Copies of this chain bind each other. A is one copy, B any other.
Amino acid sequence: MPHAHPLNPSRRLDPALDRACVPLQAVTAMTRGRLTLRAGELVITANARLRALYTLEEGWALRYRTLPNGSRQILDFILPGDWVGLPSVFFGSSRCWVRALTPVTLGVLDARLLPALLRKHPNVGWALLKAGMLEQERADTRLTLLGRLGSSERIGYLLLELRDRLRARGLFPGSSGPLPLDRELLADAVGLSRVHVARALRALRAAGLADLTNRLLTIPNVRNLARFSGYPLKRAPQRPIG
């Protein structure tokens, strides 16, 4: 029983806004400094009061939660260009941890200036909203992954998603690129155990779909892996925020 929508818009949104380029000088005006961390160091501590906001400029970080029983669920991998710590601006503290996976450099913003910035540059708010929507789509995807797909498909999907995000940043030029992830990280991201991640990777390698050895990911044929894992080959990938 389909229903007719009351709105049938033919005109597109204001393209200048749709591109959602943040006026960089406005953001950098908020920059309080630059932070460099070594691999493994904490960026954000869960449940700690925090009024800073970061942008990841270089390196990998990961956002995760821990459970009473000691296990860990990785919620997202954070790549250069992504924002870090936005929820804590609204709630005063974060309910998840953020940890540097490689050496990273972060731009540090003063969150208290954010309201003023939004008032002055609505484009920034627009861009933040858009970045949030992108992140939500990734969250939806991962939820579907964990809920409905088998182990090899999960791994294949995750690898493809990372590939695309890296490629959008120019960090995965050819058919292979570096991936600083070990079995345990993949396991905590897709809800499996280390052992079964290893098995899934072995299966993918045996099928010629993907190979992750020595932190080097190779995907000989993207289309094949996408078909196998149900990954939608999208429209041109979108950078999060310029």
Q: A: which residues have CB within 8 A of B?
A: 1-3, 5-7, 9, 11-14, 17-18, 20, 32-33, 35, 37-38, 40-42, 45, 49-52, 65, 67-68, 71-73, 75, 86-87, 89-92, 95-96, 108, 110-112, 115, 118-119, 122, 125-126, 128-130, 132-133, 135-137, 139-140, 142-144, 146-149, 188, 190-191, 230
Task: Judge whether B137 and A1 touch: CB under 8 Å.
Answer: no
* 18 pairs from A and B in contact (CB 8 Å cutoff): A5-B50, A6-B32, A6-B52, A9-B50, A13-B51, A13-B89, A72-B148, A75-B140, A75-B144, A87-B137, A119-B122, A125-B126, A125-B129, A128-B129, A136-B136, A136-B139, A143-B143, A148-B191
Residues of B within 8 A of A71 (CB): 148
A230 to B115, CA, bound (A): 35
Closest to A50 in B: B5
Q: Give the distance in Å from the alpha carbon of A96 to the alpha carbon of B136 in the complex.
A: 11
Decide: B139 and A143 in contact? CB cutoff 8 A.
yes
Q: Which of A33, A86, A133, A140 has the most CB of B within 10 A?
A: A140
A7 touches B108 (CB 8 A): yes
Q: Top 10 A-B pairs ranked by shortest CB distance?
A: A147-B191, A9-B51, A125-B125, A139-B139, A7-B52, A146-B146, A73-B144, A132-B132, A119-B122, A87-B133
Chain B residues, CB < 8 A from A125: 118, 122, 125-126, 129
| Distance between A64 CB and nearest chain B CB, rounded to angstroms | 9
Could you say which residues of chain B place their CB within 8 Å of the CB of A11?
112
